[in-house]
A and B are shown apart, each in its own frame.
Chain A
Amino acid sequence: MQPDPVLSLRGIVKTFPGVRALDGVRLDLFPGQVTALIGENGAGKSTIVKVLTGIYQPDGGQILLDGQPVTFPDAQSAHCAGVTAIHQETVLFDELTVAENIFIGHAPRTRWGLIDRRAMRARAEKILRGIGADIPAGAKLRDLGIASRHLVAIARALSVDARVVIMDEPTAALSHKEIAELYELVETLKRQGKAILFISHKFDEIFRIADRWTVFRDGTFVGEGEMAGTEEAELVRLMVGRSVDQIYPKRPAQIGDPVLTVAGYSHPTEFEDITFTLHAGEILGFYGLVGAGRSEVMQALFGITRPSKGACRIDGQVRVLRSTAQAVDAGIVYVPEDRGAQGAVKGLPIFQNVTLPSLARTGRAGFLRLAEEFKLARDYTQRLDLRAASLDQDIALLSGGNQQKVVIAKWLATRPRVIILDEPTKGIDIGSKAAVHDFMSELAGQGLAVIMVSSEIPEVLGMSDRVIVMREGRIAGEFAGDRMTPENLVRAAVGIDRKEAA
């Protein structure tokens, strides 16, 4: 017999300009149980967390706490109602003590209204003991390691009398040992009768820890059930909704000669001994967990960071890449993951964004030729099906997907040999996603060598001819053909072999 849910969401709708992030979703969280929320990137998981914690206000639907409708007009009210979240990256303060970090914003007060340091410290120690963390409450946060900081973040979440605990990708930055400790913590919280919402991409974790599951897809609710008796394949089918090869426009590749050869690329802290070959017409996927060093390798190939060792050849010629300008000259271009900060030059119009690396070609003797610039910009943005009012519109006014198209157009206009796309479809709407995928396979079809860094397994599998998996700065495996399966990629990424997982 299932107990009554502590917290229920019914028909929650949340829209943003141009995107319906949540479309009438439901979610139930039961006391003493872990509910896994599963969905692809962009399915609406982060949005629902923000609705639950009072950061977003839903445009429709109800939040029921113990069966009573409630609203969370701000983060504070969600907090007071006992809904607390352990975020992917909780903001902590280096210069404050552990206890201060735990109680910041709701510290116990003396009768004079001052912070009661003694009480704060005693309660902090109690909470830390409760989660089995051996951290002195008086220590400065900056003296702690990553794992301890994470525990402080958890303690902070539990410092209110929490009834509902949301864990949003809690293991993303943790080592194995820490993950095991986190599992124990979850068991402790379950015994205390707390309702836990567990959001994770990693199926092994979900099967290990969750009691129930709920699947979202493209902002809609597609199913829920008990973990016991559920097959992994069923969850994948619900998540994706279609079979993988149907949605990805991957064409059979005509793989040509090697274009880019990277040998022994190393960096003192970020990556070690990266060696691979990329061929013309090939889409090479780079998969791995966040922090595995994929972007760092790509940025080294693009001349942003310098490798300490190793060589890079393009068309058999050794190229030294000390600046982005040299990389572009060598024919390597990079579409960054962080579109807002690294990709789009907001404040400049679309056409100027496109021509930025091609000014030597559109201009003459260092002087601009606007007509040539408009021509080049129109050429490439139209091939990408850009939606914009005019080419001299500020790029900041475009949606994320259209900004991405401008960034890609910018690089294609330089006629590169190798294009590196770092999480090319992260956070962009479904329509633009399809356009980007479509275009990627067209480019490969024309003989361009493509590297795609992606954390979305369906995308990696659907688009790549070959996949390299990275873990902790090293290549953990390379997969092609039949061996390109979700299981193989995930196992290589988290570093467990078949026997251990079974």
Chain B
Amino acid sequence: MTATARQIPDRLTSPAARALKSWESLLLVVAVAIFLLNTMASPYFLDPWNLSDATFNFTEKAMIAFAMAMLIVAGEIDLSVGAIIALASTAMGMAMSLGAGTPLIVLAGLGTGLLCGAFNGALVAGLGLPSIVVTIGTMSLFRGISYIVLGDTAFTGYPAGFAWFGQGYVFWVITVELVIFTFAAVVFGTLLHRTSFGRMVYAIGNNPVAARFSGIRVDRIRFILFLLTGLMSGVAAVCLTSRLGSTRPSIAAGFELEVVTIVVLGGVSILGGSGTILGVVLAAIVMGLVTFGLGLLNVPGIVMSIVVGALLIGVIAIPRLISKLRT
């Protein structure tokens, strides 16, 4: 409309310059530092087989963390993921005891995960209930069902082929779980950062009302995110059950908080609207390295949880403190 339209530049800072100052770069530095510390602290750390074992500290949790990251970016949360694992694992045990083979057992696990996710999603997206309340409820509900089915007993005796998921190696020291983790990271990274769906997730997390007023089907996307989180919990249930070789109702107890810890450590705002999958990947590795390093030094589990808690608070508080001191 005006004759002299002024040119507005696309960007003022290049993506590279932005990346350098990002949370992810900081996490990378932390990860390298912990890696070096571990190398100095224990002569057993740099053994390839030991390192391979160390990946089990984070692979299962991180698979869920990718889906959880998208959910938290959208401003929601799912605290029932540990309980979904318990229920999915129980379903797998039941399938096994009915004589199902490995494929059907896996399907039972994934299907249960999806159903649980759909249940959460229906309550949150369909009825408009707050996700934190819904999933605290389903956290008790899902695990409660496992307890009713199993009581003090456990499912054991999974078929030999089923052990592949949690105990198998694809090549040399590369575990099946590590491959699933990597694949999931790529898929979720692409979904969140390279697709329209991911863009809408960010929009919803920043302002769900304005997102709706922009023609986005907000509830549908929320539902899909719960579905994905349920599915990834099912995948984690398959891996974990396979690795342990048994199902007890207490399986994956406390997983939900560790998953949320990884997501938040990865730089995803707990208020929604920002964060990256790369950050979550790095955070998972940092967590894995810390617990593994402390394990090599024979640090007891309680101290370990203190260290992890302090790490989370420190990493989140320090940048905030620095910016406060500057002003």
Q: What is the size category of the interface that chain B forms with chain A?
A: 20 to 34
CB-based contact B211/A356 at 8 Å: yes
CB-based contact A348/B195 at 8 Å: no
Within 8 A of B (CB), among A384-415: 384-386, 388-393, 410, 414
Give which listed residue, A324, A368, A389, A392, contacts B216 with CB less than 8 A: A324
CB-based contact B207/A341 at 8 Å: yes
Report if A341-B8 is in contact (Cβ < 8 Å); known contacts: A325-B217, A368-B199: no
Give which listed residue, A327, A356, A384, A390, contacts B12 with CB less than 8 A: A390
Q: Does B9 contact A (CB under 8 A)?
A: yes
A64 proximity list for chain B (CB < 8 A): none
Report if A390-B9 is in contact (Cβ < 8 Å); known contacts: A304-B213, A341-B209, A342-B213: yes
Give which listed residue, B2, B10, B216, contacts A356 with CB less than 8 A: B216
A324 to B214, CA, bound (A): 7
A388 to B6, CA, bound (A): 10
B229 proximity list for chain A (CB < 8 A): none
CB-based contact B10/A392 at 8 Å: yes
- Smallest Cβ-Cβ distance to B9: which chain A residue: A390
**Cβ of A442 to closest chain B Cβ, rounded Å:** 6
A325 proximity list for chain B (CB < 8 A): 215-217
Segment of A252-260, A375-383, A478-486 engaged in the interface with chain B: A375-383
CB-based contact B213/A334 at 8 Å: yes
Across chains A and B, the number of contacting residue pairs, with CB separation under 8 Å, is 115
Q: Does B197 contact A (CB under 8 A)?
A: yes
Q: Does A467 contact B (CB under 8 A)?
A: no
**Cβ of B276 to closest chain A Cβ, rounded Å:** 14
Q: Does B320 contact A (CB under 8 A)?
A: no
Q: Does A63 contact B (CB under 8 A)?
A: no
Q: Which of A346, A359, A391 has the most CB of B within 10 A?
A: A359
Report if A374-B212 is in contact (Cβ < 8 Å); known contacts: A346-B207, A347-B274: no
Q: Which of B11, B196, B202 has the most CB of A within 10 A?
A: B196
Report if A368-B8 is in contact (Cβ < 8 Å); known contacts: A336-B213, A359-B199: no
A344 proximity list for chain B (CB < 8 A): 207, 210
A351 to B12, CA, bound (A): 13
CB-based contact B209/A356 at 8 Å: no
Report if A345-B8 is in contact (Cβ < 8 Å); known contacts: A324-B212, A357-B215, A366-B195: no
CB-based contact B12/A389 at 8 Å: yes
B214 proximity list for chain A (CB < 8 A): 324, 345, 356-357, 410
A346 to B7, CA, bound (A): 23
CB-based contact B213/A385 at 8 Å: no
A327 to B210, CA, bound (A): 15
A343 to B209, CA, bound (A): 8
CB-based contact B194/A368 at 8 Å: yes
CB-based contact A374/B216 at 8 Å: no
Q: Does A363 contact B (CB under 8 A)?
A: yes
Additional 20 contacts, C-beta under 8 A, given A367-B195, A382-B8, A442-B1: A304-B213, A324-B212, A324-B215, A327-B215, A328-B215, A333-B215, A334-B213, A343-B210, A343-B213, A347-B202, A347-B205, A348-B206, A352-B199, A359-B196, A359-B200, A378-B10, A382-B5, A385-B1, A389-B8, A393-B12
Point out residues on A near B: beta carbons under 8 Å: 302, 304, 323-325, 327-328, 333-334, 336, 341-348, 351-352, 356-357, 359-360, 363, 366-368, 374, 378, 381-386, 388-393, 410, 414, 438-439, 442
Point out residues on B near A: beta carbons under 8 Å: 1-2, 5-12, 194-200, 202-203, 205-207, 209-217, 273-274
Q: What would be 15 A-B contacts, judged by CB atoms less than 8 Å apart?
A: A302-B213, A333-B215, A341-B207, A345-B207, A345-B211, A346-B206, A348-B206, A356-B199, A356-B214, A367-B194, A367-B195, A368-B194, A385-B1, A410-B214, A438-B1
